Amino acid sequence: MSKMVCKNENNRGKIQIMADIVDLCKAGIRKTHIMYKGNLSYEQINRYLYELLEKELIAQNLDDGVLTYRATEKGRSFLQYYNMMLSILDESVINVESPVAKLA
């Protein structure tokens, strides 16, 4: 007997949100654009940007008096590993077999 465990598609987890933000920052982007494109609140964007800056996955740049965010090499590496993990897990459905089924 096998059981199907489906991913909850309504809510994103912390890692997925962080990956989405780093992905948006690949070309350089303003905070408000990250907020709108990432569908995040003001509180959320501030919390995630702070954490991503602390982990050096993104960097702040002042371009012509405008504060923008860009993905760092470490951030791009994080995205590669994140995408590899998703492809391994197949993200949508994970087949979990019962230990009893393996014995039969």
Stated pTM of the model: 0.76
State the average pLDDT over residues 1-26.
Answer: 75
Question: What is the signed CA dihedral for 64, 73, 12, 5, rounded to 10 degrees?
Answer: 160
More confident residue, 76 or 10: 76
Q: What is the DSSP letter of 27?
A: G
Span 24-79, pLDDT tens digits: 999 999 999 999 999 999 999 999 999 999 999 999 999 889 999 999 999 999 99
For position 80, which CATH number holds?
1.10.10.10
Tokens of 48: 């995630």
Higher pLDDT, 10 or 1: 10
Helix, strand, coil abundance in the chain, percent, nearest 5 = 55, 25, 25
User: What domain range is 37 assigned to?
Assistant: 2-103
Residue 82 pLDDT > 80 = yes
- How many domains does the chain divide into? 1
Give the SS3 label for residue 54.
helix
